Amino acid sequence: MLLPYKPQAYQLLHDGALTLAEIEGNGIQIDVEYLDKAIADTNAKIADLNKKLQKSEVVEKWKKAFGHKANLNSNEQLGKVLFEVMGFECPERTDTGRYKTDEKTLASVDHQFVKDWLEIKKLDKAVGTFLMGIRREVFDGLLHPSFNLHLAETFRSSSDSPNFQNLPVRNLEIMTLVRSAIIPRKGRRLIEIDYKGVEVAVAACYHKDPTMITYIKDKTKDMHRDMAAACYKLKVDQVTKMARYAAKNKFVFPQFYGSWYPDCAKSLWQGIDELKLETKNGVPMKQHLASQGITELGECSYKEKPAPGTFAHHIMMVEKHFWGKRFPVYAQWKRDHFERYKTTGYITTKTGFICQGYMKRNEVINYPVQGAAFHALLWALIRMQRAIKKYKMKSLLVGQIHDCVLGDVPENEDAQFCEMAQDIMVDKLMKAWKWLIVPLEIEIEKTPVDGSWNLKACEK
């Protein structure tokens, strides 16, 4: 059960619902001609790949192994064909002993059939979930996704018809394919404004760990760079941009959200090959780790500790230092916060809400952070919409994704819109919410005038 327990919390929901309704009404311009062509072209690619698969020796052996029960869409059958019939090594199994056939596992199989099979799955999702999802909801060239405030237990917003907050971002090819359908009105540009690291900043306002606060305030320090150096046994000046990215997304944020070293070690090790990691002077990362005495991943289970000298054991020690030495105040807050929940049965947020009822430990720790972080954006959206009306601007707010807002902005209002965003999203919010003890930052990306929301063409 979710309750606002302070008047300002109710007011935020009330005003936020009205503002999001106006944003929905504004609508997002869609390049329908491009969208229809993208759907047709993607379906044609899928058909060509399916024809190619049918000629593969793998399909021949698949049909021989399963006879009339052969089903090329069956992940279980695929696992048996690849790892039993074809004899490829399966790096990991499920908890029930079945062969894993997720994208990460299959990416380790060096065979053209697997590459084509993965490509079909990727394109199927792109056309079925994203492109067709948008096409079904377009009316008069506009998309009006719903933004809800009453469904997410974290007090974040949610979206449907279609889910605008679930557009692809991890795969550049698919992201470009989908976002190229989203365009500004004529003579305008799309401007995306993101809060930078807002959940880390909001979390710091709860736990008040001095090391974390220093990382946020001191621009000469870089937590993700430091953790990349620790995870991959590098000197700080040998950390590349991709190694930093790996540490940020495969160790730091997973640790903050409740993951543990077995999963982090596995993800970091796989990331070496996925991201083709190397040191800044060009030494392949596994070669570098071997020079440091680490040549294998090692045991990554929650039941047994990994052997010394393995990568898993190294990450176990990095994790121990991370919470025991680097962020001990944060670690203690998590323990205390969970104990309070077990005693009271509820948690409160900085923005005046109560979450109560059964929650897992990670949920107890993450919900107040995720909710308050989104409320920073919601507070700003309300005031940005009011300012647009007050100053009779032609700019439109057309979408939001948890910590970012998308504007459809005439070229002659570009500077005014961005200045307004900085003033409201950072300056005014910091004055209004006294509990914000660390500075907030925003990042701005703009499409060319009349250009699509294809991030490859965006300018910062």
CB burial of residue 64 (10 Å; 0-12, 13-18, 19+): exposed
Flag whether pLDDT at 301 surpasses 90: no
182: Cβ–Cβ under 8 A, 6 or more apart, which residues?
Answer: 28, 29, 30, 31, 143, 190, 452, 453
How far is residue 255's CA from residue 227's CA, in Å, rounded to a whole number? 12
Average pLDDT over residues 101-110: 84
Flag whether pLDDT at 458 surpasses 80: no
Average pLDDT over residues 283-292: 97
Average pLDDT over residues 364-384: 96
Average pLDDT over residues 146-172: 91
Flag whether pLDDT at 359 surpasses 90: yes
Model confidence band, residue 351 (pLDDT cutoffs 50, 70, 90): very high
Q: What local confidence, expressed as pLDDT, does residue 107 receive?
A: 81
Model confidence band, residue 281 (pLDDT cutoffs 50, 70, 90): very high
Model confidence band, residue 155 (pLDDT cutoffs 50, 70, 90): confident
Mean pLDDT of the chain: 93
Q: What is the pLDDT of residues 390-407, one digit of tens each?
A: 999 999 999 999 899 999
Average pLDDT over residues 262-281: 93
**Rounded to a whole number, what is the distance in angstroms from the first to the last CA of the chain?**
41
Q: Which residue in 40, 37, 35 sits closest to 131, CA to CA?
A: 35
Q: What local confidence, expressed as pLDDT, does residue 90 receive?
A: 82
Flag whether pLDDT at 234 surpasses 60: yes
Question: In 302-450, at which residue ranges do the beta strands (DSSP E only) sit?
Answer: 346-348, 353-356, 396-400, 404-410, 442-446
DSSP 127-188: IIIIIHHHHHH-BTTEE--EEESSS-TTS--EEESS-GGG---SSHHHHHHHHTTB-PPTTE
Helix (H/G/I), strand (E/B), else coil: 371: helix
Average pLDDT over residues 327-332: 98
How far is residue 174's CA from residue 123's CA, in Å, rounded to a whole number? 8
Lowest-confidence pick of 26-30, 154-158, 205-209: 154-158
Dihedrals phi, psi of 146, to nearest 5 degrees: -85, 140
The DSSP output letter for 86 is S
Flag whether pLDDT at 5 surpasses 90: no
Flag whether pLDDT at 38 surpasses 90: yes
Lowest-confidence pick of 57-66, 135-144, 428-437: 57-66
CB burial of residue 65 (10 Å; 0-12, 13-18, 19+): middle
177: Cβ–Cβ under 8 A, 6 or more apart, which residues?
Answer: 38, 42, 126, 130, 131
Q: What local confidence, expressed as pLDDT, does residue 178 receive?
A: 96
Model confidence band, residue 340 (pLDDT cutoffs 50, 70, 90): very high
Lowest-confidence pick of 224-233, 352-361, 378-387: 352-361
Q: What is the pLDDT of residues 14-26, one digit of tens each?
A: 999 999 999 999 9
Flag whether pLDDT at 204 surpasses 90: yes
Q: What local confidence, expressed as pLDDT, does residue 429 receive?
A: 98
How far is residue 270's CA from residue 265's CA, in Å, rounded to a whole number? 9
CB burial of residue 356 (10 Å; 0-12, 13-18, 19+): middle
CB 426 within 8 A of CB 434: no
Model confidence band, residue 1 (pLDDT cutoffs 50, 70, 90): very low
Model confidence band, residue 375 (pLDDT cutoffs 50, 70, 90): very high
Q: What local confidence, expressed as pLDDT, does residue 459 receive?
A: 58
User: Among all chains, which residue has been given the structure tokens 């107890």?
Assistant: 364
